[in-house]
Amino acid sequence: MPTPKPDRSPPGRTAFINARLIDPESRLDARGALLTDGKIIADFGPALFNNGVPEGVETVDCGGQILCPGLIDMHVHLREPGHEHKETIATGSYSAAVGGVTTLACMPNTKPVIDDVALVEFVQRRARETSLVKVYPFAAITRGLAGKEMTEMGMLAEAGALAFTDDGMPVADSLVMRRALSYARAFDMMVSQHAEDLSLTGCGCMAEGEIATRLGLPGIPDVSEAIVVERDIRLVELTGGRYHVAHISTALAIDAVRQGKKRGLNVSCEAAPHHFVLNDAAVGDYRTFAKMAPPLRSEANRLAVIEGLKDGTIDAIATDHAPHDQESKRVPMERAANGVVGLETMLPISLELYHAGLLGLIDLLGLMTLRPADLLKLPQGRLRKGAPADLVLFDPERAWTVDAKQFRSKSKNSPFDGRTVTGRALLTMVDGRIVHRLDG
């Protein structure tokens, strides 16, 4: 289906009536209405429009469904530049809008790597031209993601890079990581680590354990992640830097972050939906669509991720949306590319925690709105007068079956294809403009 072009005309005023307003910042959960004026939230609350909606205002009757800040996904691979056959900023943004994601941060492991100002500006320009949602680039920690020579962090930050990461590759050299944390601290910028000891990972293609042994596949031990996190937290103690663990997946690493927080260190982490709803059994009989980095772990690790979300150790939910074409996945397990798409399933898969009684709705939504916004120092993620009019209207009880063929992403590599889920975005608004409305 064709990807719609963004509307850049000045937004008008929109009234959302009969809504269940949820705001993780104020913990508001009440029936009411909300008014947008141009790009901002003008007013909201239970008493708004008691005397009717003013003339000339577009009205959206929410039918009692939830209206909350638009979702923020702080870990997305858009593949542009260099791998546009897998995804582009345009198609990735369309996929985000359909999933209720209004803001996303794109990773720098493109071709060429986003490691200089020109590439940051390229992404910003392409986003202005083609994106339906807000796109912020992360820049690389090291040139070419090679883990050796640091990038010009100050210039990249000034150009608009939101944070720094070599995601897809770990920063293995302790001295390089120490310098990165120290230098980024001067700009109050976050350094995000893909935590993996490649010497331990080796040629592993799934989590080490009974299932890998039965399938005859080389395994990746849990300590491959934990060793890097534990080292980096020591470097945070040394430097005072802001440190973030991307797609955390093991009990060992989560506990390391938990202990770091208790010591007052500026450490944070995110978890991907596939790591808290799936375990290594999902690999089944060599299902390459369930191959990712870090891999799906044991059931004990899956439960540890949920516990980390519940107790606040894990700060955000992020998809690690990693689109791949069929040719990259329809190959033997050892040769298949790592990664799954997730923008269109982020909301319903995360809502499984709510429906199972594991997390309250406000807390769950906070993990996808307020908390990533605070980590990235963005004004989005909250219902507040004057805040950006980035909103999602969704039905938490709407059941549907995931059909990857219908994804707006160019790639269809989802481990959730065919899964019956509950909860769906009905309408998505970015800067006061409706960028998606579900038909039917």
Annotated catalytic residues are: 320
Round to whole Å and give the CA distance between 116 and 66: 41
Query: At 377, phi and psi to the nearest 5?
Result: 60, 50
Round to whole Å and give the CA distance between 28 and 76: 29
In whole angstroms, what separates CA 63 from the centre of its chain? 28
Output the CA angle 281-283-286, nearest 5 degrees: 135
The token pair that represents 152 in the structure block: 């010009």
Work out the end-to-end distance of the chain between its first and last CA atoms, rounded to an integer number of angstroms: 17
Listed residue (196, 185, 183, 138) closest to 164, CA to CA: 138
Round to whole Å and give the CA distance between 193 and 339: 17
In DSSP terms, which residues pair with 68 in a beta bridge? 392
Listed residue (228, 201, 141) closest to 176, CA to CA: 141
Round to whole Å and give the CA distance between 315 and 367: 6
The token pair that represents 329 in the structure block: 């996945």
CB 132 within 8 A of CB 88: no
